[in-house]
Structures are given as C-alpha cells and as structure tokens.
C-alpha cells in the first residue's frame, strides 16, 4: 500500500522539522510526503535541512487568510496523481507516533478504509525545550479526552461526526472522491473540517477511530476563545449555517456572544459588535 502523508504549512518551521523527524522514525515510512506551502517561500529549505526529500508545492495566497481547504485538496490531488493508495492528512503541528502510519494502513487494508474516514487519537503536548524523541512522546501519550481512544489494533465505529478533526486522519482515494474534498469556500480559521465531516456523513461515508494511530500536537500559544480569529470564525460559521442549518464551533460563538463581541439569530446571520 502506497501511503502518502499530506501536510499544509505556512510558518511553523520548527514544528514541520519535528514532524519530519517523526516520519523518519516511523515503523512504516511514508511512500511520499507532500508538503503544500501556503505562500511561504522558505519551506523547501526547511524540508531539505530536515533531511527530507518530500514533494514541496508552493501555493500562492492572496491576502492574509490561509486557504487551508484548498491546500489540502491540492495535496490530495498531487498524492493521487502519484498513485497513492492511502492519503494521511497530518497537521503541521503534529508529530506522528512511531506506529501511526502502520495503524492507518492496517485499518485501511483490512477493509476499514472502504468509504470510511480513519481517525486516530491526538495528544496535546506541553512545551519541550529539548524536543521530542520517540521515547518521550510515548511517555507523554495522553489523548484528548473528548475523542475516542480505542485499544491498539482496535477500530471503533464512530457516530458523532462533529468529533472529526483534520489534525490527523486517513482516507483512501475512493473515500476521498465520495466526500468531494474540502469546501474551498472556507478560508481562514475554523469550520472547514466540521463541514467536511458533515459532507462525508451526507454522502454515506463512515467514521472509524483507529486505536494506536497516535499523533502528538506540539505546543504553541493559543487563546480561548481565539478572539484574533473573530472575523474568520464569523464568516465560516455563517457559511456553515447556510449549508447545514446549524452552528459549528458553538463553544467559541457562545463565548463571543457572552462577551458582547457578536450577535446572531436563527436565520444564520452574525453581526460583529464594535
């Protein structure tokens, strides 16, 4: 099975380097690593300095909003044009566990990837000034409690598509074709992965949680709620509401509303205050 890892990136050079080092340690090395650079001219140098021969594709960006959905779709097209059997999408912040790719490939090869999105557990890491080895990652394993964490070798049927994360997931080309990919109307931060999962569900694509397919999200500063992304979230939330007649990212929207930053109504309109 030809397994291709797809990473979209702008900045986060140290995180990308750590991801590449993690892929080098993988018990099942990827057949190809496609890195889509969103307007970042330094990515090729970062990849080569990390000792990788990954395929780097530069995607022009217009304006400050990152085209995450379009970049993932581009990465998938490149992978499939090179005859990939399994697409593994890995956020640039994520280091793969030693067996992550092997677990995804086994689940897909065993029939679990037939019209199913494959998702693995994700651990959020604390800061580490000395970096992360395979041993220290294993010791730090503590998957996010809001999502399933099946035992190794187990594959759990998922029913709550709102738990889907684009941080780490795998798809066969047939499954990808059934979803139609990410909706490129989403730009900037938030909503595109929830929309992708809703589209998959509507298309009859299943959701599977793959035990032992661990990914490790590297630390970076965040705010909660992400007020600096307010305009992105307003735009993408309204788009989602028009498509699905419900709100995504409800925790953030509720908090923005509580703080008096937005107003919204049942028609799907959101108004920024101030």
CA distances from 61 to 40, 68, 70, 94 (A): 9, 10, 10, 23
Whole-number pLDDT of residue 189: 87
Query: Does domain 3-217 correspond to CATH entry 3.90.550.10?
Result: yes
Record the pTM.
Answer: 0.95
Quick: pLDDT tens for 45-81. 999 999 999 999 999 887 788 999 999 999 999 999 9
Q: Above 70 in pLDDT, residue 274?
A: no
Instruction: Answer for the pair 150, 190: CB distance below 8 angstroms, yes or no.
Output: no
Quick: pLDDT tens for 222-271. 777 888 889 999 999 999 999 999 999 999 999 999 999 999 887 778 98
Which among 103, 84, 96, 111 has a CA at the least distance from the CA of 141? 96
DSSP codes of every residue in 173-231:
HHHHHHHT---TT--SSSSHHHHHHHHHHHTT-EEEEETT--EEEPP----SS-GGGHH
Pairing of strands 116-119, 168-171: antiparallel
Quick: pLDDT tens for 70-127. 999 999 999 999 999 999 999 999 999 999 999 999 999 986 678 999 999 999 999 9
Rounded to an integer, what distance in angstroms lies between the CA atom of residue 241 and that of residue 20? 37
Per-residue DSSP letter, 161: G
Instruction: Answer for the pair 25, 134: CB distance below 8 angstroms, yes or no.
Output: yes
Name the burial class of residue 11, with classes exposed (0-12), middle (13-18) and buried (19+) by CB atoms within 10 angstroms of its CB.
middle
DSSP codes of every residue in 192-206:
HHHHHHHHHHHTT-E
Start and end residues for every CATH 3.90.550.10 domain found in the chain: 3-217
Structure tokens at 227: 């007020």
């Amino acid at each position: 099975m030809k397994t291709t890892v797809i990473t979209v990136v702008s900045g986060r050079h140290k995180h990308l380097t750590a991801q590449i080092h993690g892929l080098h340690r993988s018990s099942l090395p990827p057949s190809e690593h496609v890195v889509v650079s969103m307007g970042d001219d330094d990515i090729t140098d970062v990849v080569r300095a990390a000792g990788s021969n990954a395929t780097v594709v530069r995607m022009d960006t217009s304006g400050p909003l990152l085209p995450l959905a379009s970049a993932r779709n581009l990465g998938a097209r490149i992978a499939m044009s090179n005859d990939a059997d399994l697409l593994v999408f890995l956020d640039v912040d994520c280091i793969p566990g030693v067996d992550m790719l092997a677990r995804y490939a086994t689940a897909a090869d065993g029939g679990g990837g037939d019209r199913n999105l494959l998702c693995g557990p994700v651990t959020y890491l604390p800061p580490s000034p000395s970096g992360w080895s395979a041993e220290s990652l294993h010791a730090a394993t503590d998957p996010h409690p809001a999502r399933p964490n099946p035992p190794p070798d187990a594959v759990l049927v998922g029913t709550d598509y709102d738990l889907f994360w684009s941080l780490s997931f795998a798809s066969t080309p047939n499954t990808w074709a059934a979803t139609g990919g990410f909706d490129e109307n989403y730009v900037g931060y938030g909503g595109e992965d929830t929309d992708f999962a809703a589209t998959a569900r509507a298309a009859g694509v299943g959701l599977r949680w793959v035990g032992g397919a661990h990914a490790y999200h590297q630390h970076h500063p965040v705010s909660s709620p992400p007020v600096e992304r307010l305009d992105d979230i307003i735009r993408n939330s309204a788009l989602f509401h028009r498509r699905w007649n419900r709100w995504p990212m409800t925790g953030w929207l509720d908090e923005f509303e509580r703080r008096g930053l937005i107003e919204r109504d049942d028609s799907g309109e959101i108004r920024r205050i101030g």
